[in-house]
Structures are given as C-alpha cells and as structure tokens.
Structure 1
Amino acid sequence: MLLPMSPTDSMFLLGESRDHPMHVGGLALFEPPDGADAQTMRAMLDAALARGTVAPLLRKRARRSVTTLGQWGWEEGTPVDLGHHIRHDALPAPGGITELMTLVARLHSGLLDRSRPLWEMHLIEGLTGGRFAAYMKIHHALADGVSAMKLLRSALSEDPDVSGMPAPWEPLVRERPALRLVPNPPAGGPGPFDLPAAALRAARSAAGEVAGEVAGMVPAIAGTIDRARRQRGGPLTLSAPKSMLNVPIGGARRFAARSWPIERLRLVAKFADATVNDVVLAMCSGALRTYMNDLDALPADPLIAMVPVSLRDQGQETKAGNEIGVLMCNLATHLANPAARFDAVRVSMREGKNAMRTRSSAQILAMSALGTAPLALSMLGLGGPIRPPNVMISNVPGPSTPLYWNGARLTALYPLSIPVDGQALNITCTSTDDEIAFGLTACRRALPPLAPLLDHLDDELGALEHALGL
C-alpha cells in the first residue's frame, strides 16, 4: 500500500533529471575526543552499520503504480541495504578543506537511486588534525531543510560524556533515557482512545474553515499581484532581471562554504533594528554585487532573492515532506552603499512578513505557489512569461549549543542545496553552536569558482559593522 505524496513533494521527483538532481545535503565535521582519532570514530560507525537498524523516515521509498494512477506515493518499511547507503571515502593528503569541498561537490552531483530509499551518507577520513567528516544527502521530496536538520540534531547530544548514541541513520531508542533524545509524552496528554474523537473534532473544524479559505483566496491573489506590480515585498515578483544566474544548468556542482561567529551578525541586527536573516540577506547582496561586477555581469536592476519560510508548527520538524512558503526580497544590488542596501533588504522583508501575517497557512501556501510557478515551470523544462527570482537564499536554524556524537564534537555543519534551471546558485545558511555557516551550491558549468564569493561575504559583514560604528 502506498501513502499519498503531496503535489509539492512530487514536483521534486517530476522535475529531476541527470542535469537536475533534487536532493539537499549537509557536511558535518567532527573532532574526536581526547585519546581518540578518526579510526575510533570509524569503528563506532562500523558498529552501528553492523546493527543494521534504520529510522522509519529513511525506510520510505518513492514509488508509483497502476493503483495510484501513475501518481507518486510513499512505500513505508522498505528493506534497506546499508552497504549501499553508507559509504566510506578518504581524502588525498594533505586532507584540507579545499580537498574536502572538491570531494563533496562531486558527491553532491550524483543522482540518488530511485529503486531504493532516497538518501546516502558518506563517511570521510583523511582530514588533517584527525578530524572526521560525514556528508549526507536526502531527496527534497522526502525532507526539507528544517526536517533534515532535525534528523541530524536527534542523533547528537549536548553532553560530551554520553556514549552508546545511535548513528544518524538509526532510530531513536526510548530505552536509552540517559540520552534524553525523545521526550516522554506530557502527563494528561491524549491516550490512544482519545485520538479518534480528536480527529473528528478537527475534521468538523476544518470543514467549517474551508468556505472561509475559498472566500479569502481571490482577494489574497489580487493583493499579491498588486504588491508585486508595485515592487513591494511579498511572495511574488514581476521584476527579476535577467542575469548570469538565470540560465539552464548541468548536473556537475561547485561547492564552497565558510562560517562566521553568529554574535557578529546578531550585533549588527540589534543596532540596525533588523533580524539575523536580514543581515544574511544583506551580506549576500553585497557579495553578489561585487562577484558579478568583477565578472562584468551585474544587471542594472536589483537582483531578487527567493527566501523560503518554514510553516511547520513546533514539533513537526521530523514529518516527511515540505511545508514552506516563500517571500521575494529585493537585494538592492544596484546600490553602491552597503547601508542603503541593508535598509532596502530590511524594508522588503518587513513588508513581506507583514503581508504574510494577514493570511492563513493555506493562503500563504497558495500565494507561494503562485510566486514559485515561474521557477517550477523552469524546473519542468517549460518556459513562462515571468522570469523566476535570481537566487534562492535560505537560513535554516540549527542547534545553539555545542553538540557531540559519542564524545566527538561537531565543529562545523555546512548545508548543500539545489541549483535549478533559472537559478544556477543556491545559498543556504545554518547556525551551529556559536557560528553561522554559509553553503554555496552552484552549477559548475554556469558559474566560475565560488571561493571569491566567500571573501566578499566577509567584506560585506565588515562593511555593515563599519557603517553602524561597531
């Protein structure tokens, strides 16, 4: 029996081809505890492999059949060949970050095998200093960035002395209370016989809300189009310029990443009455302006960024699939002054969020679908009258405290994402401990090396601090 797959999730399968892999990924770096080395970590991971257990999410297989009329669905409980999904790699000496990024870019270029559950993990040895790396990729139909982050977080502990922890692909075990990775149900919560009654109440409530949703959809659409026409913040843009980023792509990837102390971004945000995400977008704005200007490829009109916004309720992060809305942000790359760019970014995001607060989740999803339609058509090989936004920029919140796996400290977590036709560059950020990491994933054919972009991000953060007198 197949469980139905949402249209949003199935789009990532329908739009996938050899030149368009549709998986997200993460690169985690670990520092072994005192007295241990990378071989010690490999032995612990090999022991987990021998146990052969796999989390339910990672046993889902995408499949379609005559009974589903050709539509994609999820087959649960699929047997998993861990020898296929978990692989060992080693870097050539000297095993630095450059060599690691090159390897991960190549690994991120390959398609996942659709006859199996859609994920892989590569355990990477050979880094200098005895460090150990793990690169995991998972299909975007199966998990968005928030749920993928939650999956990783569940395998880690804030306590460096905890041992016997499950590997990232293993299920959490309630019989390990010392790990405290799965909270006990709250006292007084619903029991198994209360759930049907709760479901009936929810169904009655939902039925009453449908008429209101339909009635509110027409003015919501009209308002969204009007905001886009006036170039105001919201889920739709009609003004994205043509640029070097908006071209057909191939399957080979470039990847570059770097981390900054998140306190620097928080301080800028505090003094500018902005959010950390506003600072991220402003850094990207200045970096892209310099990068493209150096290549004599900067459009006269400002670049427009597509910014995903999670609509998940707290506690839903491990649910399969995607629940995201989008906002379009004017990056103001036509302005030379860093402070002016920052102010334009802040205003654009504030306008979009204010408009979003007046809508229900269903309306936000509908408006976001309208805004992403040009990109979706491009992903499916179809043209459209409206160009998609120039670049995707997302910020996935991560753990705010030091984390460990069986005593090995997580020292860095770099996100990898999905370039598509019409958006040859994706910028994804995630915070870990006291740092925020920028992961740049691009089509190798469309863009030159990305390392200069990292330097420009650093320069832009410095320029924002200088503008605020920090």
Structure 2
Amino acid sequence: MPPRLSALDASFLYLEQPTTPMHVGGVSIFRRPRPPGPSGGFDYERLVELIEQRIALVPRYRQKVRYVPGNLARPVWVDDPDFDIAYHVRRSALPKPGSDEQLTELVARLMSRPLDHTRPLWEMYLVEGLARGRTAVLTKTHQAMVDGVSAFDIGQVILDVSATPGAAPLDGEAGDAPLPGRGRRGRGMVEEFWMPRPEPSDTQLILGAVAEAVARPAEIVDNVRVAAGDALATVGKIAGTAGSLFSMARAASRRAPGTPLNVPISTQRRFAVARTQLDSYRRVRAAHGCTVNDVVLSVVSGALRNWLLSRGEPVSPSSTLRAMVPLSVRGEADVPSSATAGSLGNRVSSFIVDLPVGEQSPVVRLHHVTHAMREHTSTGQSVGADTLVRIGGFAPPTLHALGARAASGFSKRIFNLVVTNVPGPQFPLYAAGARMLEMFPVVPLAKGQALSIGLTSYDGGVFYGFNGDRDAMSDVDVLAGLVDEALDELLSTVGS
C-alpha cells in the first residue's frame, strides 16, 4: 500500500479554502553569471535540466495525493504517471524596467492561486527581466508535502556552495552535515531513468482502509470527521503532533488584542520585502546582551507600532500585538552532529509573545521582548542559530514551512500574526553558476489573519517577506519600509 499522509498533513488538505491556500513560498534573487559558463548560463532550460537531475533527491515531488473513496482513511501518496516537469517549472518575465515593485506584484498574484490537487503539489517559476541583470526564482510548495521528515523544499536541491554545479561542500562552513540532498556522490549527477509505480485502484484503497479499521476501529470515524471539516478534531490532531504547542496555546488565557490585522480575508494577496544587514542586529545584540532573534522581534514591534500610527489607529502605552513565533527546539537528546534538517521533524514549537507596540522607547521595547523570550527558552530546549545551520545545511524554506504548519490550526483569538525567523548560511550559494543574492520567505495567511511575516538571514543580510491580504493590507509596502526606521532606532542606542 502506498504511504499514507499523516493526520497533520491530511488536515492541511481538508482545511484548505479559497481564502487560505496552504502553500508556503520563497523568492530567491540570483545574479546571472558573466560570462555564461559552459552550461549556457542560468535560464529556463538550465533550470529545468537542474530539476530533472536532482528531483530524485525529493521523490515526493513526483507524487500526487490520492483520496480514499468515502474518506474511509487518510489519503495516500502515489507516483504521478503523467508527471510533467514543464507543468511544474514555469517561465515568466517582467516588462521594463523590471523593478522590485513589479516583482512583488507578480509574486502576490502567483501566491494567490491555489495549487492543483490532481498533480504533485508544487510549482516553480523562473522570473526573467529583473533590473540589474538579476533573475528571480519563486517556489510554491503545499504544507502537506514539506513535513521536515521525508521532504525538503524543491528550492533547496538546486543550490550549490560553489559556482561549479555538483562541487563538494566548503570545508568548515556547512558544518558536519552535507547540504540537503548532497550525498557522497555529489549532486551534479544525472539521475537514473524513473519509472512510476502502478497506481492503486479504488478497490485496493478501500481494502487497505478496511484492514486498518479492523486494527484501529476508532480511526475510521475520526477520518470521516476530519474530512468533513470538524475543526475540533483537526486541531486536536495538530495539537497531538505539535506536542507542547497546544498546551502553550491554552495557557494564553487572554484573547489576542483586537487589531486591523484580524479581519475576514480575501483570495488575493499583496507582498512586500525589506532588506537589512545582519551586522546591525549583532551590534544591538552585543550592546544590550540579548539574542539576534530578540532584536528581530523588537524591530518588528517598532515597525508595527509606526504602521499603526500611520493608519491613525489608537496606540496606548500598554498596547500589544500578540505574535506566534515558531522556533526549532531540541528533542529529548541533543541533536547529533550528523543530523540533517529532515531529522528536525516536528521539533518546531511555537511561543506566544506580546509585542510591545505601545512602548515609545526602542530600548524598553527590546527589554520587554528579551524578557518574554527568556521565559520561553529558559528550559534549554531552543536551538541556537549556529546549531540550526549546522544540522540543517540550507533549510530555511523547510523550516518556514514547519513554522507555518505549527500555526495554521489555531484561532485568531489566540494571536494576531505569525513571525517566522530562520537563520541561513553566511556564505554564498549558487544555482547553475548564478549566485543567490537574496531570499525572501512567503508565509501563508491563516483564516482571519491579514498579515504574516517571514525572515531569513543569508550571506550577511536579513531579508523580510511580508505577505498580506490584498484588501486589508493595501499599505503592506509601508510596513515593510518601516523596518529600516525601527532598526535605526535601535542602532542609535549603540555606541560607536
């Protein structure tokens, strides 16, 4: 019998609605190699070739979801006999001048479209025509696929640590673990011929479901309830998988503050980005004795404060916005040096943090955030940035997806927005010889939540992606522009 989706994975399929597509995205910006290398440079044909060479490293990306008749059991993963790489890897181009604003508008439109559930649940777009000789790659992957155990994000397997495709990892920079998908034979090799396994018939699926029901009679009732949209059953499944997440949410007895971020949302999105330097966060961290993540949350707090004021929203000294902050955590034992991002699995827990948007002083805001995060991390379960990069190679897309999964099942009454912060490697990466300059996560929206914020540090930069509802967040670009101002406020408190 083909592998069955976990309860959590299946819940993302059942809960998906037109206003809340359950895919996670990423936008990577590349500089075209000059002059083009032997492979002809980084263009659509080269990208398709690269995916064809390496897709065997992520076998789920040639599989589709097959539902069991009558929802007698959770769906299964089956090989797609009609898999068409050209359907999944697509080509687009910006008109002149190829501005960042044109790119973010295209990203918003592409991310608004749900994935086709009759095919493997992913898409990749090569976006040409970006100004200054740049090219963008947008990935969309359904949360049911990126579970951190059996699948990485497709955008990870095309990356190399050298401009020469298939080169070995740089010694001492990626840690003990190889980058995702890089085995002893390297990643530049062409895969062997792929033959899809026969797809099971409806009768076979029903017989498999009946056999499981005999062994676990309560499960068949549970499956029907979840497939019918029983939110309580679904959240219970998510809680059981996410471990301490549900007990943490129950501990948040106070309702999240009412804000313009929590409204009915539409099917369309807006997207904006912000670029900052990692060294700025490190300077603030050193001066105030906190963590880089504390500085990030303080910057987000300052930007949200100024955004609320720009809208004329009432902001008092005690005003807060409640953020769900997913963080990778340790298991019962320390992570071994040979671990990979896949072994993180569901070790992504989430903390509720009240962001002090009413506080005028940037230093006091930082102290509030630092105190709140220390209370959460005092158990020693959190994984530091250096360790996360070492055990994960380059896994920001996967970890952003895990963070979004952890947050998707909970009510807007518990928190106002999601903020995911995933550290990446501090050295350049390449795709077909093209150097990756920046990468921006696109974290999906939950029902009744108009904004999500994702950020990734990479090669000396910290890159923010703001995903907002098109109607409720018409000024999402204003919020993104306020990140620099909030960071400058903190930097002004640091001596030269």
TM-score by length of 1: 0.76
Q: Does 1:440 align with 2:466?
A: yes
In the other structure, the counterpart of 2:108 is: 105
For residue 492 of structure 2, give the secondary structure of its aligned residue in structure 1.
helix
CA contact (8 A) 1:9 1:322 kept: no
What amino acid does structure 1 have at the position aligned with 2:321?
L
How far 1:375 moved relative to its partner?
A: 6.3
Identify which of 374, 377, 382 aligns with 1:350.
374
SS at match of 1:101: helix
RMSD: 3.4
1:376 aligns with 2:392: no
Matched, 1:44 2:46: yes
Distance in 2, matches of 1:80 and 1:320, equals 29
Unaligned runs of 5+ in 2: 169-179, 190-243, 383-404
Match of 1:133 in 2: 136
Q: Secondary structure at the residue paired with 2:279? A: helix
Q: Does residue 252 of structure 1 match 2:274?
A: no
Amino acid paired to 1:275: T
Aligned length: 398
The 1-side partners of 2:344 and 2:249 are apart by 31
Letter in 1 for 2:41: T
Task: Give the secondary structure class of the aligned counterpart of 2:24.
Answer: strand
**2:306 equivalent to 1:290:** yes
| Counterpart-to-counterpart distance in 2, 1:356 and 1:78 | 47
Mapping of residues 246-395 of structure 1, within 5 Å? 246-298=262-314, 300=316, 301-311=319-329, 315-318=339-342, 322-355=346-379, 357=381, 376=409, 378=411, 387-395=413-421
2:445 pairs with one of 419, 441, 447: 419
Q: Secondary structure at the match of 2:482?
A: helix
| Equivalent residues of 2:350, 2:406 under 8 A apart | no
Specify the code of the residue in structure 2 equivalent to 1:253: R
CA offset at residue 157 of structure 1? 1.9
Q: Distance in 2 between matches of 1:407 and 1:98?
A: 26
Distance 1:221 1:413 in 2: 28
Deviation (angstroms), 1:70: 4.1
How far apart in 2 are the matches of 1:144 and 1:333?
Answer: 33
Q: Which residue of 1 aligns with 2:30?
A: 30
In the aligned structure 1, how far is the partner of 2:149 from the partner of 2:272? 21
How far 1:61 moved relative to its partner? 2.2
Q: Would you say the 8 A contact 1:29–1:133 is kept in 2?
A: yes
Q: Percent identity?
A: 34
Q: Is contact 1:243–1:299 with CA below 8 Å preserved after alignment?
A: no
How far apart are the structure 1 equivalents of 2:350 and 2:476?
Answer: 25
**Partner amino acid, structure 2, of 1:21:** P
Q: Which whole-Å CA distance do the structure 2 matches of 1:269 and 1:96 have between them?
A: 34
Do the aligned residues in 2 keep the contact of 1:240 with 1:304 (CA within 8 Å)?
A: yes
* Structure 1 position 174, deviation (Å): 5.0
**Letter in structure 2 aligned against 1:256:** A
Unaligned runs of 5+ in 1: 166-170, 181-219, 229-235, 359-371, 379-385
Deviation at 1:354, TM superposition (A): 2.0
Distance 1:336 1:36, change over 3 A: same
Q: Equivalent residues in 2 for 1:176-195 (5 A)?
A: 176-177=185-186
Given the two structures, how large is their TM-score scaled by the length of structure 2?
A: 0.72
- Cα distance 1:20–1:292, how it changes in 2: closer, same or farther (>3 A)? same
Maintained 8 Å contact 2:148/2:342: no
